Chain A
């Protein structure tokens, strides 16, 4: 045996990772490590320290919001719509999502579907006028994905926007009635 190495690692030593109500993500992390190496060939003891600070910031891409706590993601003239993290938490465990308006053309603020959670049925309001070209079928058998992943697998409908001017009226950050940051 000519060499003994001792490695200590805290990865992470401290990590704080949170998502704000307006979908911004913040990450701070501290990693620490130390390696002690004893070489018997030349009687050398080596110590290497490491201290790493990680700071991260996440911004949702191209997301707009309505005052009814829905998010809208725009690509060209197609908008994908879902409800925000705040909305799904307010509603509770979602047991059913109904959209019977597929292929229909509706105006902004009309009801395009309903969602049921804890014995309460809530109307879903169309954020932009247009034709409803797609509905996330997976929600029929897995409505809970709206709670688990409201911005990803929990998307609800896609609209072919008929009046692009309405996009300007959408909010760029979600309004929150409770002025505290959720950690």
Chain B
């Protein structure tokens, strides 16, 4: 019996090994088909997995002889452009309260809000075939194919406008050495209230060279026509892509967490998830603002000056009138913040430790607590 179990085990492991060897990477599978056009749809709604999938395809698939289209959508997330400043672009407090993460993509452009009512299209081509206008034409033609009298037009800034006024799609792109990708969003049935709330930045007094978003009024396609839902639109764009470029590709599902067919993708997703990328890659900036400090008896005006590079506070100066709070306390708080991340969690820990050292004086303790809370609130 032992022998039989052992031989069964051998057979099983051999079968496993065979299947692992037989299952080749996605790029090999694509090359084998010999087709020049491919349409993929992501099974994941995780932004980091999907962004990693885009990078993986851009780096590993031979795009000189073929083009690809990727269809994807995400659970609620705010996505900023490569060189943007999240503190300047979105309301980080509301995002934290609603469990909405922040992601930084590798392409340029402005800040967008994704949720399951928003569809994304990524067009992968060689650098020679890089043509954003043609890609957007695929999307507008697909929409016009569904509703011939709908007024959708692409602008020079590569936005798509509905009725000439409301933005339903924004664009960004990345150029590599020999290949390029162009991705765009499409608002089908997104949560517009949440979108407005998260894209309203609250941090005041930021001076920065980061690229800034151009705010535009938006609208959902569903508001225009209740029968236009995400799946209908995705299918229509996929078939229009085939028509426009002369391909005959079906929509193939892909799982971005499959390390066997996409080797290295988990590491890429982890890089995109890390604080050092999402917040730490912010171009250097400074915050220069004044705020009110109140307690039961008095109110005063304090100023905050900070220089931040790579998300780390390089210099910090919090000035509070000395009659409201002893200068040593605000100075000590400033000094403790230097060298730390511009992060409310880290700052709360520093503030808590500092509050513990204050002598037992209720009034002073409360004032210091107010100051710490206001500073944390800004981050």
Contact = CB atoms under 8 A, between A and B. Distances in A.
A116 B211 contact: yes
A120 interface: yes
**Which of A119, A123, A143 has most B Cβ within 10 Å?**
A119
B167 interface: no
Task: Say which size band chain A's interface belongs to.
Answer: 10 to 19
Main secondary structure of the interface of B (DSSP, over half): loop
Interface in B254-292: 283-284
Nearest to A90: B175
B162 interface: no
Given A96-B83, A96-B283, A120 B209 contact: no
B172 A120 contact: yes
A125 to B, nearest CB: 7
B177 A96 contact: no
A123 B179 CA distance: 11
29 contacts: A95-B83, A95-B108, A98-B83, A98-B283, A114-B82, A114-B83, A116-B81, A116-B83, A117-B108, A118-B108, A118-B158, A119-B81, A119-B107, A119-B108, A119-B157, A119-B158, A120-B107, A120-B108, A121-B81, A121-B106, A121-B172, A121-B173, A121-B175, A122-B174, A123-B176, A123-B177, A140-B283, A140-B284, A143-B209
B283 A121 contact: no
B117 interface: no
A140 to B, nearest CB: 5
Contacts of A95: 83, 108, 211
A123 B110 CA distance: 18
Contact of A119 (B173, B210, B283): B173
Contact of B175 (A98, A123, A143): A123
Nearest to B159: A119
B109 interface: yes
A96 to B, nearest CB: 4
Contacts of A114: 82-83
Interface in B346-372: none
Interface of A: 68, 95-96, 98, 114, 116-123, 125, 140-141, 143
A122 B106 CA distance: 10
A99 to B, nearest CB: 11
A125 B81 CA distance: 21
Task: Say which size band chain B's interface belongs to.
Answer: 20 to 34
A68 B176 CA distance: 11
A96 B175 contact: no
A160 to B, nearest CB: 24
**Which of B81, B158, B174 has most A Cβ within 10 Å?**
B174
Interface string B68-111: 00000000000001110000000000000000000000111110
Given A98-B283, A114-B82, A141 B209 contact: yes
A146 B176 CA distance: 19
B210 A120 contact: no
Nearest to A97: B83
Contacts of B82: 98, 114, 116, 121
**Which of B106, B108, B283 has most A Cβ within 10 Å?**
B108
**Which of A95, A98, A118 has most B Cβ within 10 Å?**
A118
A87 to B, nearest CB: 11
Those 4 A-B pairs whose CB atoms lie nearest each other, nearest first: A119-B109, A122-B175, A116-B108, A120-B173
B240 interface: no
B158 to A, nearest CB: 7
Contacts of B157: 118-119
A121 B180 CA distance: 10
Nearest to B106: A121
Nearest to B170: A119
A116 B80 CA distance: 14
B171 interface: yes
